[in-house]
Chains A and B, each alone.
Chain A
Amino acid sequence: MAESNTKPKFAFYWAASCGGCEITVTELGMRLVDAGDLVDIVFWPCAMDFKYEDVEAMADGEIDFCFFNGAIRTSENEDLAKLLRRKSKVLVAFGSCAHEGCIPGLANLYDAESILERVYNTVPSLDESRGTRPVPLSKVPEGEIHIPSFYDQVKTLAQTVDVDYFMPGCPPVVDQVWNVFQLILSGQLPPKGSVIGADAKTNCDVCPRQKVQSGMRIKEFKRPHEVELDPDLCFLAQGVICYGPATRAGCGLPCIQGNMPCRGCYGPPEGVVDQGAKLLSAIAALIDTDEPEELQSIMDSIVDLVGTCYRFSLADSILSELKYKKR
């Protein structure tokens, strides 16, 4: 590692996330070996043994670029976000969790107390609850044990610290990871705040399916498992909510090719502030009725509205903002 001093220093950290983003990086395969030659990995707790003290010991801005994946759920997540921000020249919100909250962000539907209550007391898979709850500070004979505290709200990285670039995807697809890697190494970076590793267009733009025609309005919204899906026809035309119209392209449509509607993990395209509200606006325009009663039944056919419209973007939504501003 002696000669590595000339290579750019790279850090890769995970906060509240599933680990899928790390798997994507490992899926780079042989390219990962190339990457290892190009950069000096200074921090990657998932893959190698580092200590937080190592990072703290670095000078501010010493890390050339840092991929940060995962949302901010605990005090530890927040501390590390702040720490890595300080130590990194370029901080990339890597993957949907850091970008817009992703699935962990759906926890914003509930408050911390009810989540803990469920997990430690009432979840059906629990044989017998002993009423144990994690507490930030426990005193044991050996001394005090600190664990991170659990926040009420899931935040995105950008809601916590200043972020330079956003890389969407749950997880980001492998080729895009490589593209971003090279982009950063090339130094040809776009203006700060840009979304990288994705396209400017939306998935509908690149989707090969046959599009809707007039007269294909929707009388009942269905979930993918409730219909035999035509692999060549637009999902919306089949009454299945697809995020394609409100989602940035760049993933290469793996879901759509697998005959599943787009789930929206690549986030909103340029100009959309609130992805869920925009999607709601679009799907409401598709309803086929002029009867108030029928309107009710069409609306009732959408199961788990927030989960449907904000599957990946709830933490980053105005909805979350309104909820937590209140407190």
Chain B
Amino acid sequence: MNHQPETFADQVRAIPGGEHLEMCYSCGTCVSKCLIQQKVEPEYNPRRLLRMVMMDMREEAFQSPTTWLCSACDLCYPACPQQIHISGVIGAIKQLAIEAGYESPLETVTVDESLCSGCGICVLACPYEAPHLVEKEIAGEMDRVSEVDANKCMGCGICVAACPLGAIARKGVSNEEIVRQIKVKRQKKGVPRLVTFVCDWCLRADDDVSLLESYPDNVRVIHIPCSGRIDPQMALLALRSGIDGVLVCGCAPGECHYKRGTYVSSCKITLLNRMFEQMSIGDGRVRFVQIGTQDRGRIRREVDAMLEYLAAWKEAR
């Protein structure tokens, strides 16, 4: 019997999730199912990453953006004709990379330790188990605060929305940065003003994405990394400022780029509407729509329907 030295592929296979690596026949389904290459990183390519592992290209794999950008949404897994759990394999590669001293290049969230109360909401909110509570000395006193593992954080911002104290922020999508964007130019009488929060991942078609740029100025589009980033206070602030409606667009159930963001936001907006109902405030002004990968053109229909509804609502008032 021959004893070959352990290859990179052997190491990946040995980690739970990495097992079915060699079944890949490079059909490319995962690459096109995933939106990362289209939206974020042209070099992103799970198929090639698996190939790198098979070809023992350790360093290249560790440096590949694919290793770090995969959010384990598992959109590719059910689509893979070879039934390879690709995010599991990528997770195994990432684990080896971290062990080898590599660090995630992603923009991650940061905790303001002076604000953090250590309540642990973020620990439960995170889809990736990135935050955990630690005891540490802050301004000369021992305090319990949340600490985020930067190698696990994918930057979705679900915790930012969940933190009751605003102690967590992510560059570009902090509370202040989003709230600052919630404004719509004054319109002529009868023209409704709408704020639309659009998750970065729910629109697949290029023409749907470019559509967002072409709305007239009564529709303000605010890009967010995940619909889970929305917090109901933002919707309330928008309505208080005189904006007529708020539309939040997220991914379809099972298609959320950050696993659970769409469920969290669906919960928030549904409950907010229940509150409106309980308060006998006109409902339907804050809406959540879950746009699936095949719902081409739906964003236009949803925005149009919302504007139509708001116009009628204004008229009735």
Contacts and interface: CB of A to CB of B under 8 A. Distances in A.
A–B contact via C-beta, under 8 angstroms? yes
Interface of A: 108-109, 201-205, 211-214, 216-217, 234, 236, 244-246, 269, 271-274, 276-282, 284-287, 289-292, 295, 298-299, 302, 304-306, 309, 318-323, 326
A245 B271 contact: no
Contact of A212 (B120, B159, B228, B236): B120
A322 B236 contact: yes
B129, B265, B278 interface centre (most CB from chain A within 10 Å): B278
Interface of B: 115, 117-126, 129, 132-133, 143-144, 158-159, 161-166, 228, 231-233, 235-237, 239-240, 253-254, 259-260, 263-268, 270-272, 274-276, 278-282, 317
A204 B119 contact: yes
Contacts of A108: 279
A204 B265 CA distance: 24
Given A285-B125, A305-B275, A326-B281, A280 B164 contact: no
B119 A211 contact: yes
A298 B274 CA distance: 14
Contacts of B158: 285
Contact of A281 (B233, B266, B280): B233
Nearest to A302: B271
B257 to A, nearest CB: 14
12 contacts: A211-B123, A245-B119, A271-B166, A272-B165, A274-B236, A278-B233, A284-B264, A285-B159, A286-B125, A299-B267, A318-B236, A320-B279
Q: Which 8 A-B pairs have the closest CB atoms?
A: A285-B162, A285-B125, A204-B119, A281-B231, A245-B119, A212-B120, A205-B117, A277-B233
A295 B240 contact: no
B278 A305 contact: yes
Contacts of B274: 299, 305
A223 B228 CA distance: 26
A109 B240 CA distance: 18
A304 B274 CA distance: 10
Contacts of A217: 124
Chain A, interface SS category: helix
Contacts of A271: 115, 165-166
Given A281-B162, A284-B267, A306 B278 contact: yes
Contacts of A291: 253
A273 B233 contact: yes
A318 B121 contact: no
A281 B164 contact: yes
Contacts of A289: 263
Contact of A282 (B121, B143, B237, B263): B121
A271 B117 CA distance: 14
B268 A284 contact: yes
Given A305-B278, A306-B275, A306-B278, A277 B263 contact: no
A319 B268 CA distance: 15
A216 B270 CA distance: 23
Given A272-B165, A305-B274, A306-B278, A326 B231 contact: no
Contacts of A203: 117
A246 B240 CA distance: 21
Nearest to B143: A205
A290 B72 CA distance: 14
A109, A269, A280 interface centre (most CB from chain B within 10 Å): A280
Given A299-B270, A318-B239, A202 B120 contact: no
Contacts of B280: 109, 323
A231 B162 CA distance: 25
Contact of B271 (A286, A299, A323): A299
A297 B165 CA distance: 28
A190 to B, nearest CB: 19
A203, A281, A326 interface centre (most CB from chain B within 10 Å): A281
A279 B164 contact: yes
B119, B123, B282 interface centre (most CB from chain A within 10 Å): B119
A320 B236 CA distance: 11
Contacts of B270: 299
A309 B275 contact: yes
B240 A318 contact: yes
Given A284-B267, A285-B124, A211 B144 contact: yes
Nearest to A310: B275
Contact of B161 (A281, A305, A306): A281
Contacts of B120: 204, 211-213, 234, 236
A280 B237 contact: no
Given A204-B119, A205-B117, A281 B268 contact: yes
